[in-house]
Chain A
Amino acid sequence: MYLKELSELSGISGDEGEVRDFIKSHMASYADEMWVDNVGNLLILKKGRESDKKVLIAAHMDEVGMMVVRINEDGTLGVAPVGGLDMRVCLGKRVRIGDVHGVIGYKAIHLQKKMEDKFPARRDVKVFCGFKNKDEAAENVKLGDYVYFTTTFEEKGEYFSGKAFDDRGGCSILMDLLSSGEPAYDTIFAFLVQEETGLRGSSVVVEQVKPDVAIVVETTTAGDVPELEEYRWATHLGDGPAVTFAHRGYVVDPRVFQTIVETAEKAGIRYQYKRRTAGGTDAFRFARSAYGVPAGVVSIPCRYIHSPVSLMRKDDYHETLKLMQLLVMKGEVKKAWRN
Chain B
Amino acid sequence: MEKLRDLVKKFTEVAGPSGREEEIREAILRSLDGYVDGYRVDKVGNLIVWKNGRENKKILFDAHMDEIGVVVTHVDEVFLRVEPIGGMSPRYLLGTGIRFLVDPPVYGVVGVEGESIEEYNKNLKELSFDKIYVDVCASSKEELKERIKIGTFGVYDSRFRESAGRYVSKAMDDRIGCAVLVQFMRELVDPRYTVYCVFSMQEETGLVGASVAAYDLQPDVAIAVDVTASVDTPKANKRMAMKLDAGPAIKVMDRASISDRGVVDKLIEVAERHGIPHQMEVLILGGTNAAAYQRTRSGIPSATVSIPTRYVHSPHEVVSENDVLNTVKLLKHYVEEAFD
Contact = CB atoms under 8 A, between A and B. Distances in A.
| In-complex A–B contact (CB below 8 Å) | yes
Given A231-B81, A276-B83, A293 B44 contact: yes
A338 interface: yes
Interface in A180-199: none
A246 B71 contact: yes
Interface string A148-180: 000000000000000000000000000000000
A205 B208 CA distance: 17
Contacts of A231: 74, 76, 81
Contacts of A292: 42-44, 46, 208-209, 211-213, 215
Contacts of B19: 246, 250-254
Contacts of A277: 71, 73, 83-85
Nearest to A233: B74
Interface residues of A, number: 29
B151 to A, nearest CB: 4
B212 A251 contact: no
Given A246-B85, A275-B74, A338-B45, A290 B205 contact: no
A275 B150 contact: yes
Contacts of B209: 292
Interface of A: prevailing SS: loop
Contact of A289 (B74, B83, B212, B216): B212
Contacts of A290: 212, 215
A218 interface: no
Contacts of A251: 17-20, 71, 85, 202, 205
A137 B44 CA distance: 52
A276 B151 CA distance: 10
B62 to A, nearest CB: 14
Interface string B140-152: 0000000000110
B71 A287 contact: no
Contacts of B17: 251
A339 interface: yes
A2 interface: no
Contacts of A252: 19
Contacts of B212: 287-292
Nearest to B80: A231
Contact of A339 (B18, B43, B215): B43
Contacts of A275: 73-74, 150
B2 to A, nearest CB: 29
Contact of A245 (B43, B44, B71, B81): B71
The residue in B42, B202, B205 that gathers the most chain A C-beta atoms within 10 A of its C-beta is B205
A16 interface: no
A338 B41 contact: yes
B53 interface: no
B277 interface: no
Nearest to A246: B71
A245 B101 CA distance: 14
Question: Interface extent on B, as a size class?
Answer: 20 to 34
Interface string B263-275: 0000000000000
A318 B216 CA distance: 40
A288 B208 contact: yes
A212 B42 CA distance: 11
A250 B45 contact: no
A245 B202 contact: no
B206 A249 contact: yes
Contacts of B46: 292
Contacts of B73: 273, 275-277
A246 to B, nearest CB: 6
Contacts of A134: none
A284 to B, nearest CB: 8
Interface string A220-236: 00000000001110000
B206 A250 contact: yes
A253 B45 contact: yes
Nearest to B40: A339
B40 to A, nearest CB: 8
Nearest to A285: B211
B130 interface: yes
B162 interface: no
Contacts of A291: 42-43, 212, 215-216
Contacts of A249: 205-206, 208
A284 B205 CA distance: 10
Contacts of B202: 250-251, 287
Interface string A246-282: 1001111110010000000000000001011100000
A241 interface: no
B22 interface: yes
Interface in A316-339: 337-339
A291 B17 CA distance: 22
Given A251-B19, A277-B71, A290-B215, A339 B41 contact: yes
Contacts of B44: 253, 287, 292-294
Nearest to A295: B44
A230 B202 CA distance: 30
Nearest to B206: A249
Nearest to B74: A231
A339 to B, nearest CB: 7
A91 B216 CA distance: 51
Given A231-B74, A252-B19, 15 more contacts: A249-B205, A249-B206, A250-B208, A251-B17, A251-B18, A251-B85, A253-B45, A254-B19, A257-B151, A275-B73, A277-B73, A287-B208, A292-B209, A292-B212, A293-B44
27 contacts: A212-B43, A230-B76, A231-B74, A231-B76, A231-B81, A249-B206, A251-B17, A251-B19, A251-B20, A253-B45, A273-B150, A273-B151, A275-B150, A276-B83, A277-B83, A277-B84, A287-B211, A288-B206, A289-B212, A290-B212, A291-B43, A291-B215, A292-B44, A292-B208, A294-B45, A338-B45, A339-B41
Interface of A: 212, 230-232, 245-246, 249-254, 257, 273, 275-277, 284, 287-294, 337-339
8 smallest CB-CB distances across A and B, nearest first, come from: A251-B19, A292-B212, A292-B44, A288-B211, A249-B206, A231-B74, A245-B151, A291-B215
